[in-house]
Amino acid sequence: MTFFLEQLIIGLSSGGIYAIMALALVMIYKSTGHVNLAQGEMAVFSTFIAWTLVQMDVPIWPAILLTVAVSFVGAIVLERVVVRPFAKADDLVVVAVFVGLFLSIHSLAGAIWNYEVKPFPSAFSDGSISLMDDLSIRAHTLGSLLTTGAVLTAVWFFFRYTRLGLALRAAADNHESSRLVGINVSVMLALGWGLAAGIGAVAGVMIAPVTFLDPGMGLAPLIFALAGALLGGITSPFGAALGGLIVGVLEAMVSAYVPYGIEFRELIALMLILSVLLVRPAGLFGEIVTRRV
Amino acid sequence: MLKSTTALVLGLTLASGAMAATYDKGASDDEIKFGTIVPLSGPASAYGSTGTCIAAYFDMVNDKGGINGRKVSVSVQDDGYNPAKMLEQARRLVEREGVLFIAGNIGTPTNSAIHRYMNQRKVPHLFLTTGASKWDDPENYPWTMPYIPSYAAEGRIYAKYIKENMPDAKIGILYQNDDFGRDYMDAFIDQLGDESMVVSAVSYDTSAATVDSQMSTLKESGADVFFNVASPKFAAQAIRRAGEIGWDATQFLVSVSNAKSAVLEPAGLDHSTGIISTQYLKEPTNPAYAEDADVQAWQAFKAEYFPKASDGNWWDWSCYSTAYTIEHVLAQAGDELTRENLMKVASNLEGFEAPMLLPGITVNTAADDFAPIEAMSLMKFDGDNWALFGDVIAVD
């Protein structure tokens, strides 16, 4: 039983990471209609900024807030300068731009901060909380799960109940019609990028204390976050976050209980997800996006 | 007609030249030219200083009059740790610059990319800084030889120690699921001779976020010895996790990941205390070697020729040892500076005392043994520094 609970906690711990990252993906998808493949690298870059601030003796919480703000502005600039010129281009071209961004941001982070693994302080406490004999949970895991919940609530509330959220969704859905009803699509796209990067920065500072910080840190979480987002439905913040948690727990359970599961855990987890998507292509909680042609 | 005559004459000249001459391309009466390819840019650029180091070493040799009256010129090229680029640079050195040989390259994936090329071209590919066991294969690749101890040799050393000192050990292994991990593990299990001593061996993929669940599985298996065959980031995660879940096994950590700043500090020095690893070099920062002749010579070299060197980077002193050995081989080859003779000299080193190697460790090669260094000393982390213990352990 203890072993099972321990695996569950491990799964929730990585699932929580995937969940926040999935929320960043949902954010950008809902406001621009694209999946930003460079989201993970942007999050890592933000985390390095936070790390630099911490090295300069800025306390962790102000450092995180400052990083979120810097990431928000930085992503808006990035969207303006790099992504906007391709706004009318084919989807494949946009994917190529994202791959390019991915590689450039990765190399830039490596060039500035080098590739050595760096410890990153937890925003919560470094200790762990004992649940019962032989079973404890890192304070950080608990904290990052709560953070995921808070970010999820905020994102959901934003899209569901604010005019701005509605305008963002509209802009992503149909540029022309949105413009006709008076939505400034250009501002909305920039805002979408900014908010996604802000969430990504939160994801980064939650991941780094667990995996350590290095330029390669963003890739694994991004892949599994994407899987989680697709599983839960990339149009639904709640679905995507839940999807992220499911992927994390599935991964841990498969490696603990399936023979040779450790070797094949990624494969098995991704296959299960594929099977779900065969039945429900929009994901468990996603809406099918219909477009008038 | 004219063409074939020219070819015939040229052929005859070459043939007669080959009989009388003692030089291959890249060597002459007054110069020996060789190349080294290292990552000066890209993710592994930290290791690029070895190129600077080898070039600087031969600046020093040239200032002292060169080797047998010849100046040595070193062409340092950048591969960005990219196998395709490595091949491009090797071709450039061999075909355009016409070097006598290539030596001191860094990295397993990159050197793999030119393994065949160098052997097809029959150009010596010497003293590589990479631990893969595949370099020691004189039968199939008679032109390639590594320098540093192989992962396999290191794995055998741990196994030998465990067998002698902890015969009842129940061993749990965490390994990276690629050649690097398997090289260590296969040799380790082979040397143990008794597979039942390994109660659990779990792998991880470099794409994984953490190795937390592997660590629970290992603890659950009841192992009391932990062999940590992971690259730095995952090794640090594993050490920290073992501490967190209270698994108090005796830990053995591969030398690839035994850097204090990159692994032990992130993992937590308290979790790292008591870990056992290996060493074959004298660390210049170790006060025990402050008066050591090798270390003093390295310090002098560093001060005058290689000011960029860092005391904390093992490759910045290991390269000194490599360069010294290259110099020795060139000096021994005398006036017969052919590629074949270089391999002959390089594969006939017996008890050669290269600098910076720990006392009791020497360079030994033979026609059927292309593994120059196969002895290491164990060391234990005392919470602040690594301390050597026991005798040098040799394997073959």
Can you give the pLDDT at residue B10? 52
Asked whether the predicted pLDDT for residue B17 surpasses 70, the reply is no
Look-up of token digits 């949970």: A137
ipTM rounded to 2 decimals? 0.84
A264 touches chain B (CB under 8 A): no
Can you give the pLDDT at residue B72? 97
Which one of B202, B216, B236 has the shortest CB-CB distance to A212?
B236
Domains held by chain A: number: 1
Whether residue B203 and residue A262 make contact (CB cut-off 8 A), yes or no, is: yes
Which one of B205, B217, B263 has the shortest CB-CB distance to A256?
B217
The model's pLDDT over B120-168, given as tens digits with 9 standing for 90+, comes to 999 999 999 999 999 999 999 999 999 999 999 999 999 999 999 999 9
Helix-, strand-, coil-residue percentages of chain A, each rounded to 5: 75, 5, 20
Chain B residues lying within 8 Å of A210, measured CB to CB: 209-210
What is the phi/psi pair of residue B367, to 5°?
A: -55, -30
Pairing mode, strands B375-381 and B386-394: antiparallel
Whether residue A211 and residue B203 make contact (CB cut-off 8 A), yes or no, is: no
Task: Locate the chain A residue with the closest alpha carbon to B210.
Answer: A211
Q: Residue B1: pLDDT band by 50, 70, 90 thresholds?
A: very low
Q: Is residue A213 part of a domain?
A: yes
Which one of A6, A14, A128 has the shortest CB-CB distance to B216?
A6
The whole-angstrom distance between A276's CA and the closest CA on chain B is 23
The model's pLDDT over B44-57, given as tens digits with 9 standing for 90+, comes to 888 899 999 999 99
Can you give the pLDDT at residue A289? 66
Whether residue B262 and residue A138 make contact (CB cut-off 8 A), yes or no, is: no
Chain A residues lying within 8 Å of B209, measured CB to CB: 14, 17, 207, 210-211, 220-221, 224
Whether residue B43 and residue A115 make contact (CB cut-off 8 A), yes or no, is: yes
Q: Is residue A42 part of a domain?
A: yes
Q: Is residue A207 part of a domain?
A: yes
Can you give the pLDDT at residue B111? 96
Q: Is residue A253 part of a domain?
A: no
Asked whether the predicted pLDDT for residue B382 surpasses 70, the reply is yes
User: Chain B 18-57, CB below 8 Å of chain A: which residues?
Assistant: 42-46
Quote the CA–CA distance of B120 and B169 in Å, as a whole number.
46
Chain A residues lying within 8 Å of B43, measured CB to CB: 110, 115, 215
Asked whether the predicted pLDDT for residue B2 surpasses 60, the reply is no
Q: Where are the beta strands (DSSP E) in chain A?
A: 128-132, 135-138
Q: Is residue A251 part of a domain?
A: no
B204 touches chain A (CB under 8 A): yes
Name the DSSP class of B351.
S
Pair B83, B105: CB distance under 8 Å: no
Chain B residues lying within 8 Å of A223, measured CB to CB: 207
**Domain spanning B2-149+291-365, CATH architecture:** 3-Layer(aba) Sandwich (3.40)
Domains B2-149+291-365 and B152-279+378-394 share a fold: yes
CATH assignment of B152-279+378-394, given 3.20.20.100, 3.40.50.1970, 3.20.20.70, 3.40.50.2300?
3.40.50.2300
pLDDT tens track, chain A, 293 positions: 778 888 898 899 889 889 999 999 988 888 888 888 899 999 999 999 999 999 999 999 999 999 999 999 999 999 999 988 887 888 889 889 999 999 999 999 988 998 888 899 998 887 788 877 777 888 888 998 999 999 999 999 998 899 998 898 888 878 888 888 888 888 888 999 999 999 999 999 999 998 899 998 888 888 889 889 988 888 888 999 999 999 999 888 888 888 777 777 778 777 877 888 888 888 888 777 666 65
Task: Locate the chain B residue with the closest alpha carbon to A139.
Answer: B244
Residue A173: give the domain boundaries: 2-217
Asked whether the predicted pLDDT for residue B18 surpasses 50, the reply is no
Whether residue B209 and residue A207 make contact (CB cut-off 8 A), yes or no, is: yes
Alpha helices in B193-313 (DSSP H): 212-220, 232-244, 265-267, 269-272, 293-305
Can you give the pLDDT at residue A90? 85
Of A160, A235, A248, A148, give the one whose Cα is nearest residue A199: A148
B335 touches chain A (CB under 8 A): no
A100, B128, B259, B356 from B315: Cα distances, Å: 33, 12, 12, 11
Q: Is residue A109 part of a domain?
A: yes
A255 touches chain B (CB under 8 A): yes
The token pair that represents B52 in the structure block: 């600077």
Look-up of token digits 């995921």: A148
Pair A221, A21: CB distance under 8 Å: yes
Of B216, B194, B193, B196, give the one whose Cα is nearest residue B204: B216
Q: Residue B19: pLDDT band by 50, 70, 90 thresholds?
A: very low
Residue-range domain boundaries for chain B? 2-149+291-365, 152-279+378-394
A148, A204, A207, A215, A220 from A211: Cα distances, Å: 17, 10, 6, 11, 10
The model's pLDDT over B54-103, given as tens digits with 9 standing for 90+, comes to 999 999 999 999 999 999 999 999 999 999 999 999 999 999 999 999 99
State which H helix or E strand residue A75 sits in. helix A60-78
Whether residue A7 and residue B220 make contact (CB cut-off 8 A), yes or no, is: no
